[in-house]
Structure 1
Amino acid sequence: MDDPRHTRHMEITPLHPDDHDAVGDVFALMHAVRAADAPEGPAPVEQSFRAGLRQKRPGLDVTHYAATDGGAVVGYLGIGLLVGDNPHLAMAELMVHPGHRRRGHGAALLDCYVDHASAHGRTDLTAGTLTAWGDGPRRPTAGVAFLERNGFTLALVNVRRRSRTDALTPETERRLWDRARAASADYDVRTWTGPAPDDLIESICRLDALSRTEVPTGDIALEADAVDVERARAKEAATAAVHQVPVKAAAVHRATGEVAALTDVHAYEDPAATHATQGITIADPAHRGHRLGMLVKLANLRQLRQRFPRVEEVWTENADVNDHMVAINTELGYEAVDALSVYQRRL
Structure 2
Amino acid sequence: MEVLPEFKLHRPGTLAEALKIRGSLDEARYISGGTDLLANIRRGLTPTENLIELSGLSELQRFEADADGLHIGAAVTLATIGNDPAIKQDYAVLAEAANAVAGATHRAVATIGGNLCLDTRCLFYNQSQWWRDSNDGCMKYEGEICHVVPTSKRCYAAYSGDTAPALLVLNAEIEIAGPDGSRRVPLDDLFNDDGIDYLTLAPGEMVTMVHLPAASKSKTASSYTKLRIRDSIDFPLAGVAVRVTQENGKVTALDAAVTGTNSTPIRVTGCDAFVGLEFDEEQGQKFAKLVQKQTSPVQTTTTKPQYRRRAVTAMSKTLTQNLLQALSA
Place the TM-score, normalised by the shorter chain, in its bin: under 0.3
Query: Which gives a bigger RCO, structure 1 or 2 (Cα 8 Å, sep 6+)?
Result: 1
